[in-house]
């Protein structure tokens, strides 16, 4: 048999093809793992946003003089970021004006001071309040900054929202 008549692939060519194919499959597997982690992180963020909106709606429904809307340490606007995680340090809810402790009319559970959502994810929830006082001494509005922190597969995450609640007073 003449070598020029032989057809097909050599063993070396097959091994190279299998190696290239395996590298491609491994890259797709790694990409799939990152996609799953990203989807999980998106679910955490979506739940955190839902929690945040629920709290903001609850604040809107509270009376202006509710104890949960008081500036407990009377530090005003300067204290709106009390408890906020800074430069990689963990959040410090104990230094905030208020922490979620189950007293708000929301149906979330508590576990070691953390809010637990319907599927068991845990969030730290706390908020600060600053009174905006008119020259007459009446409080015209309150600035409320809400913090929601959680740990996901992608690391420490947060949602921070600020709202203003106005007092119905005559000027």
The domain segmentation of the chain, as residue ranges, is: 9-166
- pLDDT band at 89; cut points 50, 70, 90: confident
Name residue, tokens 């790694």. 30
Q: Give the span between the Cα atoms of 125 and 169, in whole angstroms.
A: 30
pLDDT in tens, 140-153: 999 999 999 999 87
| b/e sequence 46-65, b meaning 16+ C-beta within 10 Å | ebbeebbebbbeebeeeeee
Confidence check: pLDDT of 132 > 80: yes
This prediction has a pTM of 0.79
Q: Nearest-CA neighbor of 126 among 149, 101, 100?
A: 100
Torsion angle of C-alpha atoms 101, 103, 52, 150, degrees rounded to 10:
20
pLDDT at 2: 58
Confidence check: pLDDT of 114 > 80: yes
Q: Specify the DSSP element, H or E, that contains 24.
A: helix 11-61
pLDDT at 165: 95
């Amino acid at each position: 048999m003449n070598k020029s008549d032989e057809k097909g692939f050599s063993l070396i060519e097959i091994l190279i093809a299998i190696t290239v194919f395996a590298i491609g499959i491994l890259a797709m597997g790694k990409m799939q793992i990152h996609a799953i982690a990203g989807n999980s992180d998106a679910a955490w963020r979506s739940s955190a946003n839902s929690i945040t909106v629920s709290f903001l709606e609850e604040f809107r429904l509270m009376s202006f003089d509710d104890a949960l809307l008081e500036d407990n340490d009377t530090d005003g606007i300067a204290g709106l970021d009390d408890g906020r995680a800074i430069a990689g340090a963990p959040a410090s809810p104990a230094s905030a004006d208020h922490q979620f402790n189950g007293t708000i009319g929301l149906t979330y559970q508590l576990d070691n001071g953390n809010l637990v959502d319907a599927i068991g994810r845990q969030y730290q929830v706390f908020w600060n309040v600053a009174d905006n006082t008119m020259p007459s001494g009446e409080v015209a509005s309150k600035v409320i900054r809400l913090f929601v922190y959680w740990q996901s597969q992608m690391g420490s995450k947060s949602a921070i929202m600020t709202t203003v609640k106005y007092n119905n007073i005559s000027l």
